[in-house]
Chain A
Amino acid sequence: MPGFFSKERITAGHRYNRWLIPPAALAVHLCIGQAYAFSVFNEPMTRVLGISQSAPDDWKLTTLGWIYSLAIVFLGLSAAFGGKWLEKVGPRRTMFTAACCFGGGFILSAIGVYLHQVWLLYLGYGVIGGCGLGLGYVSPVSTLIKWFPDRRGMATGLAIMGFGGGAMIGAPLGVMLMKHFESETSVGVMEAFVVMGVLYFISMVIGSLAIRIPPPDWKPEGWTPPVESKKMVTKRHVHIDQALKTPQFYLLWAILCLNVTAGIGILGQASVMIQEMFKGAITPEAAAGFVGLLSLFNMGGRFVWSSASDYLGRQNTYFLFFALGTFLYSMLPTFSGEGNIVLFIAASAVILSMYGGGFATIPAYLADIFGTKYVGGIHGRLLTAWATAGVLGPVLVNYIREYQIDHGVAKADAYTTTLYIMAGLLMVGFICNLMMKEVHEQHYMKHDEVENGETA
């Protein structure tokens, strides 16, 4: 009898409703998206001992900043190394493992707060939780692509939209819980960690129990695969290890990395940037509202652009991201110079929608180029581009800004060069996308290898 987590056990019947799969993926992604909102705990964690204000032995913000950084690094590493395991064991086991890691990471971090041992938070949320993030992120992607061969972009966009939405739930939930548990002897972080760890574990386990893979010869009712292959959409498969030997993998890596770097450049600095570029016109509260607006467009863009890519084609969608992104980035200093807040906000919102869209469309682009058989694992390896951009984007923005201010440039003008550099990065992305061609014949798996699940 096949084990509870085995692929055989979760293979659906032919009449299974495929619309039950996206909420299973969302149940996981809405939880792990909380990572984007981890910063709400930072300030209260600097008062764990002093409660009302920081005591001399309390943690510093710089010490706490490593928790999030570690989580993102381990997200990239676990997605890269766990992708092949995911293809072997299937989505249920991977999602369940992600639930244990993410929920367990919260619990270990709660113990770390209780004992005031920061290494337990590094290990808990950073390392173990980070592995949960990576495994949870990639686990439903290939399953969704197999269930929605007719709407690959929309299906993966739905799940990855959940990651953007997870921060919108995680931030107010974290604040609400801390407020609820706050007392004269506690800032409420430990208790909030325990509640969130349990809630997220349960929700992710529900997702893992609901996930199903389609039977091998399954296709949507009334849908017939196109007889002739569309350009840049293969019906064949490239093995996960072989994909790394193709130039297409590295071009897609660069495409994702450049698109994310440009988006993070705005997202990471949005609050300070708008206040400095429109000095006196934007209050800190309004700047926080600007960040909220960008988050909404980041999330919405994930669904809208990836769904649009099913009709526009993946390569054309990225052409649009890079061309429109270059134009809008290079116009931001002009809008700022003219004092045109409305156009500045509108352009930033569109840029952020394309940042989210870039994340959500990449799995479908990978499936088009490398086939669907190993797309989850290949996607995992491509996510190292995200980890790289996560470092590159903020460093570029901060370093160039500091350099310019040190050399006498006014704060309001200090972003101009950075924004032009971001536009330049997007032009490089455009060229990478232009160079994308179908994979060479030699890299595809032979028919019998596909049947037997052979390694390349």
Chain B
Amino acid sequence: MTASENQGKENHAVLLVLFWAYVLIPLGWGVYQTFKKALALFA
């Protein structure tokens, strides 16, 4: 594997983490808000 190929893979890895975080953080926030609401059922 060449150095540039390695570099490309690293770039992909960073992009992968950032992109997943970009969608999962708002989703996690939404799930948390709904979960807080759902807790009222057990109160």
Contacts and interface: CB of A to CB of B under 8 A. Distances in A.
Contacts of A292: 34-35, 37-38, 40-41
Interface of A: 15, 17, 19-20, 23-24, 26-27, 30, 162, 165-172, 206, 210, 285-286, 288-293, 295-296, 299, 345
A296 B38 contact: yes
Given A170-B30, A172-B30, A345-B41, 18 more contacts: A15-B9, A19-B16, A20-B12, A24-B19, A30-B23, A30-B26, A162-B27, A165-B27, A166-B30, A168-B27, A168-B30, A169-B29, A171-B33, A289-B39, A289-B42, A292-B35, A295-B34, A296-B38
Contacts of B26: 30, 169
Contacts of B27: 26, 30, 162, 165, 168-169
Nearest to B40: A289
A20 B30 contact: no
19 contacts: A15-B5, A15-B8, A15-B9, A19-B16, A20-B15, A23-B22, A23-B23, A30-B26, A165-B27, A168-B27, A169-B30, A171-B33, A172-B29, A172-B30, A289-B37, A289-B41, A293-B38, A293-B41, A296-B31
Contact of B33 (A24, A172, A299): A172
Contacts of A296: 31, 34-35, 38
B3 interface: no
Nearest to B8: A15
Nearest to B5: A15
Across chains A and B, which 10 residue pairs bring their CB atoms closest together, nearest first?
A: A168-B30, A289-B41, A289-B40, A169-B30, A292-B38, A292-B37, A293-B38, A26-B23, A172-B33, A23-B19
Contacts of B33: 168, 171-172
A26 B21 CA distance: 11
A165 B30 contact: yes
A162 B26 CA distance: 11
Nearest to A17: B12
Interface residues of B, dominant DSSP: helix
Contact of B34 (A19, A20, A168): A168
Contacts of B41: 286, 289-290, 292-293, 345
Which of A15, A17, A167, A290 counts the most B-chain CB atoms under 10 A from its CB?
A: A17
Given A30-B26, A286-B43, A293-B38, A165 B31 contact: yes
Contacts of A288: 37, 40
Contacts of A285: 40, 43
Contacts of B12: 17, 20
Contacts of A286: 40-41, 43
Nearest to B36: A292
A299 B27 CA distance: 11
A162 B23 contact: yes
A349 to B, nearest CB: 10
Nearest to B43: A286
Which of B15, B34, B42 counts the most A-chain CB atoms under 10 A from its CB?
A: B34
B38 A289 contact: yes
A288 B35 CA distance: 11
A299 B31 CA distance: 9
Nearest to A285: B40
Which of A17, A168, A169, A291 counts the most B-chain CB atoms under 10 A from its CB?
A: A168
A404 to B, nearest CB: 27
A27 B22 CA distance: 8
B5 to A, nearest CB: 8
A26 B9 CA distance: 23
B19 A20 contact: yes
A174 B23 CA distance: 18
Given A169-B26, A169-B27, A20 B37 contact: no
A169 B23 CA distance: 11
A259 to B, nearest CB: 23
Contacts of B15: 20
A289 B43 CA distance: 10
B19 to A, nearest CB: 4
Contacts of A166: 30
Contact of A20 (B9, B16, B40): B16
